[in-house]
Amino acid sequence: MSTVNKNGKKEIKKVVLAYSGGLDTSVILKWLQDEYQCEIVTFTADLGQGEELEPARAKAKAAGVKEQDIYIDDVREEFVRDFVFPMFRANTVYEGEYLLGTSIARPLIAKRLIEIARETNADAISHGATGKGNDQVRFELGAYALNPNIHIIAPWREWDLLSREKLMAYAETHGIPVDMKHKQGGSPYSMDANLLHISYEGRHLEDPAAEAEESMWRWSVSPEKAPDAAEYLDIEYVNGDPVSLNGEAMKPHELLAHLNKIGGKHGIGRLDLVENRYVGMKSRGCYETPGGTIMLKAHRAIESITLDREVAHLKDDLMPRYASMIYNGYWWSPERIAIQTLIDHTQTVVNGWVRVKLYKGNVIVTGRDSKTNSLFDSTIATFEDDKGAYDQKDAGGFIKLNALRLRIAANLKNRQ
């Protein structure tokens, strides 16, 4: 039987907090200490967000967290290899546009939270996702899938600090340093960054009619300011994953980082989107995904010559459902794993290279080839003399058979 502390909260001895050192999680750390009167373990994931993470260690120590209870883990390679690449093997896009940069990081963070809770004998985990957002669902579904008995503390569903301004006031009252005040004053953007993307929400973006400030974007230039000269990239694929860039073999996280830098220089990967959140509301966000945009285009190009037609169409049929699974937090579900098994089976033939041209916000495929798995047969596809490789008379019977039901229906209509 669970007991409660003097604040009426469930008695918790130790909690693992997903901690960035930013406004939300800095306030949450202090709030957990006051409300739950428990030990805090902080976990900060290096997902390639491009920011110095050691300040998070210093902030945690200043807040009273023990040195041995501060985890700052470099998970960049695992993130790209085991989460981003499998997702892109499926050509995953949510609602026709969103490349799921935030969504795909959440199952990895949930996994590490559960692992650290086990290592430190913590009896709870906590996160900074708001009660209006999708991330609370993703974190918690992932955590429960990996440890069905874990206790989860979601401060945004318990406290009354339900705005950025209230959070900043709380931080000021309790002497919590905040580094993210917008240069124009007021609360900062709600931002999330990792090696796949960076997202922006809040402020004037809450008006879907308002254009995003140019100064907001961090990874990319506007297409208008991109170089006047195009740049070509050769990307090699093995079993559906990119393995080299312009002939240089790279680890997954290195390759994605290079594509981000090059794509951002050419104004690639910006998105302004109103999406349908899992919790039922529409939400407007802006995203930068330069490397992912390039990878998606290139992957479809190599699949176009290596995948059987019906296999490719089956993948396209499954992709929206697969995308919804990731968006809605079901990465660790049996249905996602089952579809992933099928997808990965199809990728054993997706080997070869793709050449893309980057120019002022555009990714243009200019060539592709596979020496071992290409299904493109120029002797059949040619518009010149195919020397009998294809009998064009066969098309007549094919057309008549497929037209039979249409002709029957037309004859019936004409008789009525």
Task: Give the active site residues.
Answer: 24, 106, 135, 190
Task: Quote the CA–CA distance of 245 and 259 in Å, as a whole number.
Answer: 9
Tell me the DSSP string of 137-201: HHHHHHHHHH-TT-EEE-GGGTSS--SHHHHHHHHHHTT-------TTSSPPPEEEE-SS-EEEE
Asked if 36 contacts 62 with a C-beta cutoff of 8 angstroms, the reply is no
Please list, in sequence order, all residues whose beta carbon lies within 8 angstroms of the beta carbon of residue 222, skipping any fewer than 6 positions away: 214, 267, 270
Half-sphere exposure of 378 (CA within 13 A, CB side): 2
Q: Using CA atoms, how far apart are residues 180 and 315, in angstroms rounded to an integer?
A: 42
Token pair 């709030």: residue:
31
Helix (H) or strand (E) holding 40: strand 39-46
Distances, alpha carbon 403 to alpha carbons 289, 371, 395, 408, 416, in Å = 45, 38, 12, 9, 20
Distance CA 160, CA 27 (A): 12
Continuous segment of H or E residues that includes residue 45: strand 39-46
Q: Please, which residues have CB within 8 angstroms of residue 204's CB and are 6 or more apart in sequence?
A: 210, 213
Contacts of 187 (CB under 8 A, 6+ apart): 163, 164, 165, 167, 168, 202, 203
Distances (CA, A) of 64 to 27, 57, 162, 315, 378: 13, 11, 25, 50, 69
Distance CA 214, CA 414 (A): 61
Question: Reduced to 3 states, what is the DSSP secondary structure of residue 282?
Answer: strand
Report the length, in residues, of the chain.
416
Pairing relationship of beta strands 270-276 and 282-288 according to DSSP bridges: antiparallel
